[in-house]
Structures are given as C-alpha cells and as structure tokens.
Structure 1
Amino acid sequence: MPDFCAAYGCSNRLSLKTRAHGITFHRFPKTGEMRRQWELALRRDGFVAADRTLLCSEHFSSEDFDRTGRINP
C-alpha cells in the first residue's frame, strides 16, 4: 500500500523516486499538543491524523529539522 503525503494538493508519495529527490516523510507525533498543532497546520476541516499519516519534507522549513542527532526525551 503506497503512503502519500497528507497535505492538501500534495501528490508526493513514499517511493525511491521521491527519496532520490531528497524528499523525506515524517509520521505525525503520537499524541499531545504537537500532534494537534500538526493537524491544525494542514488547514483541513475536521482532519484527524491516523497512526500511519505522513507529511513530506516539502511542507517543513529547514529550521524545523533537528540535525544535532540528539534525542529529546
């Protein structure tokens, strides 16, 4: 089953082609306020993310990524 980006109008799907273009896919946070912020940021009325819902890196700015390699508790 192919995995597609949940952003409205985005046709990116998880594949070797998108990976070759440097596009990465990210699951919604499991619970809490951060998950709700992601859902609201999509601006889709009544949208609720499932456990496998993905967003592609095209919808993030470079500042959104933690490149330090440290894991935050």
Structure 2
Amino acid sequence: MPGTRCAVYGCGNTYKTRQQEHEYFIFHRFPKAKDLVSQTMRKEWILRCKREDKFNPDTSYICSVHFTEKDYERDLQNELLGLPLRKILKKTAVPTLGLYSKKSTSEASSSSISSREERLAKRNAKEEVNKYRSF
C-alpha cells in the first residue's frame, strides 16, 4: 500500500503522511462492479471524487476521512473476541465528507464573489476533513 493516495480531489491524505504523522485513517478500495447495485455504487464513488482528470478506480482508494461513523458496521467478531476493532464499510456507504471540486477558469473569472465562496467552501471542507481525521 505504500504510495497510496486518496482519490478525492483536494485531499492530501497519503499512506506516507499517515505513517509520518501517526494519524489514524484507513483507505477503502472502490466497489467492484459485480452486479447492478455495486456498479451504481462504484459510479457514485467516482462522481463524488469530483476529479476532472482520468484515474483508474481499480487501483485507487478513498480515505476514511470522507465517510461518517454511520457508514461503518460494527465489528462484532472482533468485539466478542476482545480483539482490536476494524472499520468495516457498509455496502451502501458513499463518501460525503470533505468533498469539493475545481471550477474551470471561465467560471472562476465570472465574479469575485464566486471565487470568495469557492475559497470559503474549500476552507470549510478542509476543516471538516481535519475534524474527522481523529477517528
């Protein structure tokens, strides 16, 4: 997993920074497109990454910072055995936290108010990401 980077636009979480800063977040693989439900979930994850460039979801990850606590199942097996708990993502979970997109240059230059709102949204998204890094 070395070299792993979060696929969400604007997220700087990597496997390397996680080790260096001793932060606790994990990386989740994109859902495999086995059936109609998992294909829909995969497309939703790709859309929520808000990336303008092409990337390969088969080799990409999204960090746990972009999921809420409600997106995880209880790890009953490890809980009953007294082992360290794992973060098990529900099959229906989609990334919802700390998502923002890059605007094209024509949209950004349309007015200074929209660029101010964009900077505010980015700042709020970064604060939200930092807030959820603690779990």
- 1:44 matched to 2:45? The reply is no
Superposition RMSD in Å = 2.8
Larger relative contact order (Cα-Cα within 8 Å, sequence gap ≥ 6): 1
Give 1:65 shift. 1.2
1:25 aligned residue (24, 27, 30): 27
Q: Which amino acid aligns with 2:10?
A: G
Q: Which runs of 5+ in 2 are unaligned?
A: 34-38, 78-89, 91-135
Instruction: Extract unaligned runs of 5+ from structure 1.
Output: none
Alpha-carbon distance, 1:6 to partner: 0.6
The alignment status of 1:34 with 2:34, answered yes or no, reads: no
Judging by fraction of residues, say which structure has more helix. Answer: 2
Residue in structure 2 matched with residue 57 of structure 1 by the alignment: 64
User: 35-44 vs 61-70, which deviates more?
Assistant: 61-70
**1:12-44 CA-partner distances (Å, limit 9, x unpaired):** 112452783211000000111111111111222
Instruction: Count matched residues.
Output: 72
Taking a change above 3 Å as real, the CA distance of residues 18 and 26 of structure 1, as seen in their structure-2 partners, is farther
Give the structure 2 partner of residue 3 of structure 1: 4
Task: Give the CA deviation at 1:69.
Answer: 4.6
TM-score calculated relative to the size of structure 1:
0.74
Larger radius of gyration: 2
Given the two structures, how large is their TM-score scaled by the length of structure 2? 0.44
